[in-house]
Amino acid sequence: MSFLKEHSTTTDINDDYDGDDKLHEECGVFGIFGHSDAAALTTLGLHSLQHRGQEAAGIVSYDGIQFFAERHRGLIGDSFTNTGVLERLKGSRAIGHTRYSTTGGDDMRNVQPFFAEFAGGGFSVAHNGNITNAVTLRKRLQREGAIFHATSDTEVILHLIAMGKEIAFNDRFMDALRQLEGAFSIVGITNKKLVGCRDPLGVRPLVLGDLDGAYILASETCALDIIGARFVRDIEPGELVVIDEKGISSHKPFAKTGKRFCIFEYVYFARPDSILEGNNVYDVRKQIGVELAIEAPIDADLVVPVPDSGVPAAIGFAQGAKLPFELGIIRNHYVGRTFIQPTDSIRHMGVKLKHNANRTIIEGKRVILVDDSIVRGTTSKKIVQMVRDAGAKEVHMRIASPPTASPCFYGVDTPDTNKLLASRMSVEEMAKFINVDTLSFISLDGLYRATGEAKRDNETPQYCDACFSKEYPTELTDHNVDGSKVASISLLAERQSR
């Protein structure tokens, strides 16, 4: 799911402050059909997908007569465990969605799953990814009489179905899917079915599981593990699965194209214990570290991960380089999301709210820092300074991804291009900026090797790596039509309280 550009200019108050200089996956989805604990299992599934979105979450269930929706801000473990929430989500079928958002406001309109009541019955849908022609479709649908309530691209799917000409729901749904462009992993429930679909390129993950005969769809396999479900297989790129009381059927509504799974899922988005497209994420990350140790060796005393995302690659690097792996930086896990700047003087203290260098380990040493990526570079700069303040003799930075130079249009919250350090600096300049003795990024080929490929196939790359390569695998209709600035799509700024 992604937000169509709004008027709203709310900025992240923690912007420079919270030290979270990462790209963010915007959603996780989950669906289950035929289990008496459907809503509770969806809650657990979403909890294990919490790393894909922490802002808000929603669950819609169906009990054979009525649909039930709950949408709440905050972590699943807090908001969905209040008295009554699960009791109200009756039925043996449910879908859920967890959302990361940059808007920060109080706008609950965009919390998925979305629901629509068609003449033929109800339909609820949740989506991970981004539809790159959503604004264009929205304008067409509005001219045809559709009234939109939210600003999320997901709502377009509902109106395409409502306005569809076909009679059978499946046909209308496939007709709607064929009009979409971009990246989407979708789960939905109707009065009769649970449906799941991945876009033709399979940019975002979606897996199929089984728990005591109940089918499950989820963004990652870790959502199967938490409830003890069996991992059956990945939903294939371009595949639509339809699950009902008779079982599961597979459809291919799209023209066949090559697969282009998002390689950044391996680098940072996915949980290390997930298995996606045949690879264990932790394993790929460690392997990147091994590759980095080969590509960019350096004489040093110890390897220190930038916690927590740099840990697997650092383990791989240390093993590859035969250097000791040490926790030279300690992370404070109690930093809440709301740690706002108390005073100006404290705002400038920055990164230490989250991290502290362990002087005893670092002092007088030649340190190799390993991190997963550099986005704006602000955190890296602070971390390096902290390590130097702790007495490191040398600081070498090794990054487990190529330079991130281009925005993602497929459901990832990327800063403006000009804020991406790699878009305006060479590696040398970056090294200087973050003040390290040496800086190396894994090569694109090295990254592909870590996933098990021999190398990147530059003709038809095996992955979507547009944030590194600028090679976007789909049309970008809204973007190209409107130029760099997507037109505002909602005239309404809304706030509610209960």
Selected binder of a second copy within 226, 248, 405, 427 (CB under 8 A) = 226
Q: Does 121 bind a second copy (CB under 8 A)?
A: yes
Considering beta carbons, is residue 312 or 473 the nearer one to a second copy? 312
Q: Which range of residues in 238-246, 280-288, 424-432, 436-444 is near a second copy by CB under 8 A? A: 280-288
Among residues 27, 197, 464, 467, the one annotated as catalytic is 27
Omega of the bond leading into 212 within 30 degrees of 0 (cis): no
Concerning whether 27 is annotated as a catalytic residue, the answer is yes
Residues 348-377 close enough to bind a second copy by CB under 8 A: 349, 352-353, 356-361
CB neighbour burial string for 145-156, b if at least 16 within 10 angstroms, e if fewer: ebebebbbbbbb
Considering beta carbons, is residue 237 or 272 the nearer one to a second copy? 272
- Outline where 377-486 has alpha helix (H): 378-389, 421-424, 427-434, 444-450, 466-469, 477-482
Rounded to a whole number, what is the distance in angstroms from the first to the last CA of the chain? 26
Selected binder of a second copy within 32, 183, 216, 222 (CB under 8 A) = 222
d(CA 390, CA 364): 9
Report DSSP state, residue 120. T
Question: Is the distance from CB of 204 to CB of 410 less than 8 angstroms?
Answer: yes
Sequence-ordered list of residues with C-beta below 8 angstroms from that of 23, at least 6 positions apart, any chain: 264, 268, 269, 373, 375, 404, 408, 412, 413, 414, 467
Q: Does 167 bind a second copy (CB under 8 A)?
A: no
Q: What one-letter code names the amino acid at 340?
A: I
Binding mask 178-217 for a second copy (x = CB under 8 A): ----------------------------------------
Candidates 192, 193, 184; CA nearest to 239 is 184
Report, in Å, the least distance between residue 273 CB and a second copy: 4
Q: Does 232 bind a second copy (CB under 8 A)?
A: no
Residues 45-74 close enough to bind a second copy by CB under 8 A: 47-48, 50-51, 54, 60, 65-73
Q: Does 327 bind a second copy (CB under 8 A)?
A: yes
Report, in Å, the least distance between residue 405 CB and a second copy: 29
Q: Does 343 bind a second copy (CB under 8 A)?
A: yes
Report, in Å, the least distance between residue 459 CB and a second copy: 31
Q: Does 417 bind a second copy (CB under 8 A)?
A: no
Query: What is the size of the binding site for a second copy (CB under 8 A)?
Result: 108
Selected binder of a second copy within 11, 332, 426, 460 (CB under 8 A) = 332
Report, in Å, the least distance between residue 429 CB and a second copy: 28
What are residue 47's DSSP bridge partners? none
d(CA 352, CA 365): 21
Selected binder of a second copy within 188, 238, 272, 407 (CB under 8 A) = 272
Q: Does 162 bind a second copy (CB under 8 A)?
A: yes
d(CA 227, CA 257): 34
Question: Is the distance from CB of 125 to CB of 186 less than 8 angstroms?
Answer: yes
- Outline where 226-357 has alpha helix (H): 264, 281-295, 311-321, 344-347
Q: Could you identify the residue written with the tokens 């294990």?
A: 48
Residues 140-159 close enough to bind a second copy by CB under 8 A: 142-149, 158-159
Cβ neighbour number for residue 184 with a 10 Å cutoff: 28
Q: What one-letter code names the amino acid at 34?
A: G
Binding mask 454-493 for a second copy (x = CB under 8 A): ------------------------------------xxxx
Rounded to 10 deg, the angle between the 281-295 and 311-321 helix axes is: 50
Q: Which range of residues in 76-84, 246-254, 369-377, 454-462 is near a second copy by CB under 8 A? A: 76-84
Selected binder of a second copy within 10, 12, 64, 77 (CB under 8 A) = 77
Report, in Å, the least distance between residue 383 CB and a second copy: 14
Selected binder of a second copy within 186, 218, 315, 399 (CB under 8 A) = 315
Q: Does 108 bind a second copy (CB under 8 A)?
A: yes
Considering beta carbons, is residue 418 or 497 the nearer one to a second copy? 497
- Outline where 8-90 has alpha helix (H): 38-48, 76-79, 85-88
Q: What one-letter code names the amino acid at 187?
A: V
Report DSSP state, residue 5. P
Considering beta carbons, is residue 17 or 448 the nearer one to a second copy? 17
Report, in Å, the least distance between residue 414 CB and a second copy: 23
Given the DSSP bridges, would you call strands 214-218 and 207-211 parallel, antiparallel or unpaired? antiparallel
Q: What one-letter code names the amino acid at 44?
A: L
Q: Does 11 bind a second copy (CB under 8 A)?
A: no
Strands (DSSP E) along 121-269, which ranges? Answer: 121-131, 182-190, 194-198, 207-211, 214-218, 230-234, 240-244, 247-251, 261-262
Selected binder of a second copy within 100, 184, 282, 468 (CB under 8 A) = 282
Selected binder of a second copy within 103, 170, 257, 319 (CB under 8 A) = 319
Residues 422-441 close enough to bind a second copy by CB under 8 A: none
Report, in Å, the least distance between residue 423 CB and a second copy: 30
Selected binder of a second copy within 16, 20, 37, 236 (CB under 8 A) = 37
Selected binder of a second copy within 233, 256, 322, 333 (CB under 8 A) = 333
Indicate which residues carry an active-site annotation: 27
